Amino acid sequence: MIVLVINAGSSSLKYQLLDTATGQVHAKGNCERIGIDGSFVGHEENGSGKRRLEVALPDHKTAIKYVFDILSEAGFDTDKIEGIGHRVVQGGWYFPESKVVTEKTLGWVREVAPLAPLHNYAEADVIEICREMFPSIGNVIVADTSFHYNIPEKAWRYALPRDVVDRLHIRKYGAHGTSHRYIWKKTAEFLDGDVHKLVSCHLGSGASLSAIEDGRDKETTMGLTPLDGLIMGTRCGTIDPATVAYLMREGGYSIDEVDTMMNKQSGLLALSGLSSDSRDIEEAAEGGDANCQLALEMFYYRTSQLIAEMAQSMHGFDTMVFTAGIGENSSTMRLGVAKELEWLGVRIDEEANKVRSGEPRVISTEDSAVKVLVVPTNEELMIALDVEELLSK
């Protein structure tokens, strides 16, 4: 099936046209600065170099129309697109699995939007636009939270008053679920089923872990929002929740200022004082920058702590996978995290760890108590496969 996968943000829209039968990506790109001066589209076809196209994108409707226009101009018959898959950040209590778009399911995306206001409203608008512009093409919602929805209650429930929790739907929702689900699927295929208790490490600018036992999610690190858990590029990760009240009461910060501080001004950026990009931090650390060295040490420490927490939720683990921007590309980060876990018998083959490849690969030693892999994630393919499954019915 030929599927167009769309990932919409408040001022951006990423897209990928792919074939579910072969996994071939015919075209992909990103529309940036939608509704802002200086908007542009980065587009590439069949693995060719990316072109930057300066184009006015006053709204998402214009961006979607432009995507279809550029695909047509490139020779792709857009009439042959058989489905559109939409990545939705927050599925709330309505999406324990992916669903075909109807008036009801689209309404649900808007209803749960207060849990992810910067994303869900834009995503709902884009879904509506696609239905209006291309009424003959089926649309599917794939929520990032779905994979985590059925974790045990002891893992998702917060120790807050029940009436408050129930009224405001407060619980651990997690994120990156589509990526973690793909990692399980791909790892099981690669290891011919010889995996039972897997810790999936999605390490990028946004980062989370997932404990997956025989394909079922048992625990994850992100919580009500993607702020919880690991130290990330600009997010602080888990801290004492009373810090929010303290900053407001003693620091004089507004709730919006605290929210911005914790989501956009913290994490590796704050620790390093240099950058949110791990490549910049690694380079500066090698050059002797003490702040950057501390940032890396804290990242290794916190990540390894939570890997152990994920393992505890399954009462052990036999496999660990690194994925996403940092996990796939930084041998330094992988080695640093693995060394923190040596007490658990994790052993990395340092030469294998240095190899760069777009394919799944084992980087642990023969005597490692836990098999360690690098598996490139492919959320777009996972979304497209859901589209194929649901629309085929």
Contact between 264 and 237 under an 8 Å Cβ cutoff? The reply is no
150 is in an annotated binding site: no
83 is in an annotated binding site: no
53 is in an annotated binding site: no
Active site residue 69: no
92 is in an annotated binding site: no
277 is in an annotated binding site: yes
14 is in an annotated binding site: yes
**Separation CA 142–CA 88 (nearest Å):** 6
Among the options 19, 69, 144, 240, which is catalytic? 144
**Which residues, 6 or more positions from 373, have their beta carbon under 8 angstroms from its beta carbon?**
187, 190, 319, 320, 321, 322, 360, 361, 362, 363, 364
Pairing relationship of beta strands 99-100 and 83-88 according to DSSP bridges:
unpaired
106 is in an annotated binding site: no
331 is in an annotated binding site: no
325 is in an annotated binding site: yes
157 is in an annotated binding site: no
214 is in an annotated binding site: no
85 is in an annotated binding site: no
> Which residues are annotated as catalytic?
144
Residues of the binding site for substrate? 87
Residues annotated within a binding site: 7, 14, 87, 202-206, 277-279, 325-329, 379
